[in-house]
Amino acid sequence: MSDLVRVELVALLPTQAGCAVFLGNGKKSIVFYIDPSVGASINASLSHQLPARPLTHDLYMLTLEAFGAKISRAVIVKMEDEIYYARLILEAENEIMERKIVELDARPSDCLAMVVRSGAPLYIVRSLWDRLEDMSGALEEMRKDSDGNPEP
């Protein structure tokens, strides 16, 4: 998998239009923006909040489990016109079928919501990663409070 860069969620910050998602590998961070409802879903999972009823991403996880499937990984594969595209890779094995790998087209925000729930890794295609601007400085600026002091 040398053509992939493993990334982690570095920050999920509110913006006027939704949420800024920062992904990084310890050397570089990138940013993209997501819908506030998906941001809330990711945040709820990260803070181990259990909703009274399953949210959409929770329902999808329950469905996968019911069919003997799991999330293997998610990969952000390209960006066109400022829109990122991703693939969610599933593995299924149950009494009806032998091991099967399924690759689905998915929004990166949904992939992120799924990998934080499952613990599966998130990757970015190296050729895309290499051409994306390092946004670590922008992250630090967004984290500063109104007094100019970094938030904890």
Structural domain span for residue 74: 4-143
pLDDT at residue 145, rounded to an integer: 43
Q: How does pLDDT run across 107-141, given as a tens digit for each residue? A: 999 999 999 999 999 999 999 999 999 998 888 88
Domain count for the chain: 1
In a domain, 151, yes or no: no
Domain-located, residue 149: no
Does residue 18 fall inside a structural domain?
yes
DSSP 53: S
The verdict on residue 16 lying in a domain is yes
Query: Does 41 reside within a domain?
Result: yes
| Alpha-carbon distances, residue 68 vs 53, 62, 92, 97, 147 (angstroms) | 22, 10, 6, 10, 51
The residue among 148 and 88 whose pLDDT is bigger is 88
Q: Does the residue 103 lie in any domain?
A: yes
Structure pTM?
0.86
pLDDT tier, 76 (very low <50, low <70, confident <90, very high otherwise): very high
In a domain, 125, yes or no: yes
Tokens at residue 93, please? Answer: 């094995």
- The dihedral of CA 67, 7, 33, 150: what is its sign? positive
Cβ contacts of 90 within 8 Å, gap of 6 or more: 64, 69, 70, 71, 72, 101, 102, 103, 104
pLDDT score at 72: 96
pLDDT in tens, 13-57: 888 888 999 999 999 999 999 999 899 889 888 888 888 888 889
User: Is 107 within the bounds of a domain?
Assistant: yes
Weakest-pLDDT range from 11-15, 72-76, 104-108, 112-116: 11-15
Predicted pLDDT at 119: 95
Q: How far apart are the C-alpha atoms of 142 and 145, rounded to whole Å?
A: 8
pLDDT at residue 62 above 50?
A: yes
Q: Which residues, at least 6 apart from 91, have a Cβ–Cβ distance to it below 8 Å?
A: 69, 70, 72, 99, 100, 101, 102
Q: What CATH number did the domain enclosing 47 receive? A: 3.10.690.10
